Amino acid sequence: MKNSILYIGLSFITAFTLNSCKNDLDVLAPGEESVSVYGIINPNEPIQNVRINKVYLTDGDGLTAGQNGETINYGPGELKVTLQRFMTGSTTPTVTSIGTGTIGAKKEIVLTETVVTTAGGNFNTQQRIWQTTDKLYNSGEYKLTIKNINTGKEFTSQTIMVDSVKATGNLPPFIYTAFAPPGHYPVHCGIGNGGYTPPTASIQTQQLAYIDYHVLTGTPKISFKSVVNAKNYKVILRFHYIDSLTDNVTGYRRFVDMNFPTQTSSTLAGGEPLEVSFSTPDFYSNIASQIPKQTVGAIKLRRAHFIEYIIYASNEDMNTFLQVNQPSNSIAQDKPNYTNINGGVGVFAGISKTALGKELKSDFIDEISDNPLTSSLLFAKRYTFICP
């Protein structure tokens, strides 16, 4: 019977478009121990997770074997997983974590293991992962080391970090308001980059600086500049709203995403202007198609809360991994394997996330209520700001 070689295939929350491939690998050479790794570290997130599975060889049905937790998971305490940080070009570890409160900075982070339940599919839903809540730096390179305590076998990988997208000079990130007076770039509840608490009664300030997509012939743009060592950028416009039920006047916070094609910088030097645009009617159409899918209970009314602009930036390791693993457009199904895991398969990569919430102009709030595409969704007209 023909042997089946399988390793855990993993997905990522954002769909980037990538552009090169390297490191062909014989997935499982005879007699060799190997691992499947998926670790995407993001210094903007409070928890870092690394998923590690066995690469296994079976004489039977590989997918059936994948349902067996002992086939794909390492046992408790079987692996030691660590992170170290190096400045680019250096072979000497530097400070790896940022000290906060009573927790001091570390030269090495030892990840703790836990078992999580994943969505059903080809593999067992009980998956062992390794994680840390230590605060990471957004610069330098991080090295992942996985050691099998029983066999002494080590697997390593190293990836460069990328900073988050930031404002350039006096310009706010993402949304450029040409006529906004100095200091009047209000973000949601005054929290975030250039935070400014909205005045309670200033229509002029709203006219100049709040987000306004009520003109249906408009083509809004989301503009930003690339950052060093990041190649691709995933842009999301997130519309936050509040559902108020007849039996719950406080309401439930929900959101709808509007996704844009991945933007790619021409170099890794940073500072390159990038942008996405959309037609205003598409914004309302997206709301109309998505909100009914997540409606729960009898809605009394809805409130347009705020808009959040999110940008994920990925380094080249992440880019390449996703490029190689995207669906093929040809009948030739043989594709190159990509890994940056020494002795294993998978990816260890760095990404960053930037998010900025913006208040809505009253005319925009009214249009969401009145627009033919969204009028049936029971959105209220202009009202007092709600924080948070």
Give tens-digit pLDDT for 253-288. Answer: 899 999 999 999 999 999 898 889 999 999 999 999
Of the listed ranges 200-209, 311-320, 371-380, the least confidently predicted one is 200-209
Q: What is the pLDDT of residue 161?
A: 95
Rounded to an integer, what distance in angstroms lies between the CA atom of residue 54 and that of residue 69?
10
Q: Reply yes or no on whether the pLDDT at 176 is more than 50.
A: no
Give tens-digit pLDDT for 63-88. Answer: 444 444 556 789 899 999 999 999 98
Residue 276 bridge partners (DSSP): 222
Crossing angle for the helix pair 362-370 and 280-290, to the nearest 10 degrees: 60
Rounded to an integer, what distance in angstroms lies between the CA atom of residue 208 and that of residue 205?
5
Contact 131, 45 (CB under 8 A): no
Give tens-digit pLDDT for 311-332. Answer: 999 999 988 887 777 766 655 5
Contact 319, 347 (CB under 8 A): no
Give tens-digit pLDDT for 342-361. Answer: 999 999 999 999 888 888 88
Q: What is the pLDDT of residue 202?
A: 42
Q: What is the pLDDT of residue 296?
A: 73
The pLDDT mean for the chain works out to: 77
Closest CA to 182 of 193, 167, 172, 168: 172
Give tens-digit pLDDT for 217-238. Answer: 988 888 888 999 999 999 999 9
Contact 271, 226 (CB under 8 A): yes
Q: Say what percent of the chain tops pLDDT 70.
A: 68
